[in-house]
A and B are shown apart, each in its own frame.
Chain A
């Protein structure tokens, strides 16, 4: 249900997601993404461009990941959220705890 790939562009880690981040998939998502984040010493971006759906369980995972990066003085950002997902972030106040960029390029621009 969930497809996760990652790439590194000049040391920066970008994690691409595809599918649904719900009560079931968020468990495997956390399992897979956590080690990547822990290993990365540079800012991490999760690309939600192909993510169709997120529920509170998904938000919980995002919070756990964000806390983890904060612990290791790293930073975590999200980009390319669709309208519905962005609304969920706004409603839950998550837009204030994770940086959200419209596109990967804008995130890059902010890194320079």
Chain B
């Protein structure tokens, strides 16, 4: 993930970082703004709610007030007692007529007070539709003396509003009654004579409350002192339910708390939210008491509606913010493009540089900003690089010329030394291997070997004083004259050396000299004649592992002074012996600690090399020297030459083939074995091998004849015998049914005589006697090949 991010361009990074920052700032502002707006709306709402509630309370009080004012005033008239019954009734009727808020009015007298014959006397005027009707209340069914509107004011001696009730047998509507107790003075004492009432129809209040609109679905309601609904948009609740019964039904503790505060006559805009009964919407409620009678008015404010403005604001600000962010994105893209496009062009130019195109024109930049200055620096770098590379090219081409000449010189020098191995593949009498590694391109070491007649191999190893080109040239002269002098027939090694020395001394302007070991090996006898002109003593590794040095020096190195060499030495290489020659580049190889590899180490290595070929011996020495020097620069040329004498080889038996075709009859086996015997005798094979061949052939062919064919036709079985130096291979091809002898389960060779079976024994014998056993099914033929070594 991280890697992918790092790969993104500048534009992407700018967008991500700026966009994120702006988005975070915007979100914080937005949230803060939303919070403040919400608080403001709530504050306004609270003021508004209180105002609305107060207004409703005021209106309700006005209605109730105008209702209760009538009986309050009228009671004085009645208590005065100077009015007749008819007058009082007329006034009563008039009051109902003139006050639309009053549903009905009544004077209910104490029993037998007005008329000693009448227990009940209560004239009542009330509205029936548009008409004012009269009714005298009171009978056995309508025993008003025990009704709340009569009894309670009488007891408490003051006017009061009754709880709402359905006035059955009276006004026959849901109403609340304002009752004023009436007294009359007699003998200076006040006697209770009855109750004066004015009813207010709750319908009237309800109509008023329904007319109140609070937002869209908000509404107002009124409850009595006991919490009974007096007015509510849901008609069924009126009288029948209290705010507490509804709170219980709704399991709303918030509503119960509100109800309690309302009944207590408190006023507030409650902080708690609850689901209103009418629309089941999350709402808040404002309430205030009606001071006249202790009722309470509640106004329900649905939260979503009063929060609507805030939410609208929220959405509006959010859209504005998103639009702004989008615009910022576009601006960033534009700016970063204007920055990155010259950068991109510059990057292409840099890539072209990297590919070596220094003539690529840098795109011009008109701006003077940082990118413009980078462009200028780049152009400067281009011209500086161009100049530098031109210089470099000139210097290197001069150097390359010298190097390539040296390389050619090295090839020429190496071409003078025989380095193709096996050098004489047709010669089996000896094995020879040489290795040369100059310290510089060309060096002064040399080795050489060549036949001077059919059997005599001349070999030499030498080391010219100094290194590099002068030494190489001197080495070339030495090699050339050595070959030339050896061509003169009948010379022994010391004569050759003397002639070479004469030549080298005469023409030695550079005062160089060369150490040389020159030997001639008679490849048919193993005899070696040698001269050592100041060279390191070669080693002889005997076939039994003994290592010795040829520690004779016959003369000083060649090219120093004209003198005569003593007579050459001779020794004999036995079969398996090896002569190992080297230059001081090997024994004097240095390691990091400035230690020399030493002759002793060479001799140690050679001690267990008797069974190895010259190639393996030299490889071993070179690897060991390399391990020793641990990468220290080679200080001197290294040359090694080894010759292993193998003796005169035996005459070689050429490979011979013989093919026989046998018919599938068991009787043919005897003539077959005769033929094989004859053939093997011709090949001078031992009787043991002959018997093995016979056994293998008999077992396999008799198996095929006995079990291979399900028909009675004649079939050909082909037998190929191939014989060479060390093996005889037997190939049997038949067209019998498929049978792979190799995968057959092994024969029983362990159980005792009673259980012993002979099945599979033939194949077991073949497997045991052969050195290789293969089977192939090809072209519907079984092809078995067996090799026996001897």
Residues of A within 8 A of B (CB): 1, 20, 22-24, 52-53, 55-57, 59-60, 63, 66-67, 70, 83-85, 87-88, 91-93, 96-97
Q: Which residues of B lie under 8 Å from residue A88 when comparing CB positions?
A: 695, 765
Cβ-neighbour of A91 out of B667, B687, B691, B765 (below 8 A): B765
Q: Which residues of B lie under 8 Å from residue A96 when comparing CB positions?
A: 750, 752
Q: Evaluate contact between A59 and B673: CB separation under 8 angstroms.
A: no
Cβ-neighbour of A67 out of B669, B673, B687, B754 (below 8 A): B754
CA distance A53 to B670 in the complex (A): 12
Q: Which residues of A lie under 8 Å from residue B691 when comparing CB positions?
A: 52-53, 84-85
Q: Which of B204-212, B723-731, B756-764 contacts A (4 or more CB under 8 A)?
A: B756-764
Q: Evaluate contact between A1 and B754: CB separation under 8 angstroms.
A: no
* B436 adjacent to chain A (CB < 8 Å): no
Q: Evaluate contact between B753 and A84: CB separation under 8 angstroms.
A: no
Best-surrounded residue of A59, A85, A97 (most CB of chain B within 10 A): A97
Cβ-neighbour of B673 out of A22, A84, A85 (below 8 A): A22
Give min CB distance, A107 to chain B, whole Å: 19
* B688 adjacent to chain A (CB < 8 Å): yes
Give the interface SS of chain A, mostly helix, strand, loop or mixed: helix
Q: Evaluate contact between A93 and B750: CB separation under 8 angstroms.
A: yes
Q: Which residues of B lie under 8 Å from residue A85 when comparing CB positions?
A: 691
Give the residue name and chain of the B residue nearest to A25 (CB): B670
Cβ-neighbour of B753 out of A1, A22, A57, A67 (below 8 A): A67
* Total count of chain B residues near the partner, CB < 8 A: 28
Q: Evaluate contact between B667 and A24: CB separation under 8 angstroms.
A: yes
Cβ-neighbour of B669 out of A23, A52, A83 (below 8 A): A23
Best-surrounded residue of B688, B758, B769 (most CB of chain A within 10 A): B758
CA distance A96 to B691 in the complex (A): 22
* B768 adjacent to chain A (CB < 8 Å): yes
Given A22-B673, A23-B666, does the pair A55, B753 have CB atoms closer than 8 Å? no
Cβ-neighbour of B764 out of A1, A63, A92, A97 (below 8 A): A92
Give min CB distance, A70 to chain B, whole Å: 6
Cβ-neighbour of B698 out of A22, A67, A84 (below 8 A): A22
Q: Which residues of B lie under 8 Å from residue A66 when comparing CB positions?
A: 753
Q: Evaluate contact between B702 and A57: CB separation under 8 angstroms.
A: yes
CA distance A17 to B669 in the complex (A): 20
Q: Which residues of B lie under 8 Å from residue A53 when comparing CB positions?
A: 673, 691, 694-695
Enumerate 6 A-B pairs (CB-CB under 8 Å) in ascending A order.
A55-B702, A56-B758, A56-B761, A63-B756, A83-B688, A92-B747
Interface residues of B in 157-189 (CB under 8 A from A): none
Starting from the known contacts A55-B698, A84-B691, 13 additional A-B residue pairs (CB-CB under 8 Å) come to A22-B670, A23-B666, A23-B698, A55-B702, A56-B758, A56-B762, A57-B702, A57-B762, A60-B758, A84-B692, A92-B749, A92-B764, A93-B749
CA distance A59 to B762 in the complex (A): 9
Q: Which residues of B lie under 8 Å from residue A60 when comparing CB positions?
A: 758, 761
Q: Evaluate contact between A56 and B749: CB separation under 8 angstroms.
A: no
Q: Evaluate contact between A70 and B753: CB separation under 8 angstroms.
A: yes
Q: Which residues of B lie under 8 Å from residue A70 when comparing CB positions?
A: 753-754
CA distance A70 to B750 in the complex (A): 18
The contact string, 1 if C-beta is below 8 Å from chain A, for chain B 212-249, is 00000000000000000000000000000000000000
Give the residue name and chain of the A residue nearest to B763 (CB): A56
* B148 adjacent to chain A (CB < 8 Å): no
CA distance A60 to B768 in the complex (A): 18
Give min CB distance, B738 to chain A, whole Å: 22
Give the residue name and chain of the A residue nearest to B748 (CB): A93
Q: Which residues of B lie under 8 Å from residue A1 when comparing CB positions?
A: 670
Q: Evaluate contact between B753 and A63: CB separation under 8 angstroms.
A: yes
Give min CB distance, A80 to chain B, whole Å: 16
Give min CB distance, A21 to chain B, whole Å: 11
Q: Which residues of A lie under 8 Å from residue B305 when comparing CB positions?
A: none
CA distance A94 to B667 in the complex (A): 27
Give min CB distance, A55 to chain B, whole Å: 5
Interface residues of B in 456-512 (CB under 8 A from A): none
CA distance A89 to B692 in the complex (A): 13
Give the residue name and chain of the B residue nearest to A57 (CB): B702
Best-surrounded residue of A1, A55, A91 (most CB of chain B within 10 A): A55
Q: Which residues of B lie under 8 Å from residue A59 when comparing CB positions?
A: 758, 761
Give min CB distance, B534 to chain A, whole Å: 61
CA distance A3 to B769 in the complex (A): 27
Q: Evaluate contact between A56 and B699: CB separation under 8 angstroms.
A: yes
Give min CB distance, A40 to chain B, whole Å: 18
Q: Which residues of A lie under 8 Å from residue B666 when comparing CB positions?
A: 23-24
Q: Which residues of B lie under 8 Å from residue A91 when comparing CB positions?
A: 749, 764-765, 768-769
Q: Which residues of B lie under 8 Å from residue A97 when comparing CB positions?
A: 752-753, 756
CA distance A87 to B768 in the complex (A): 10
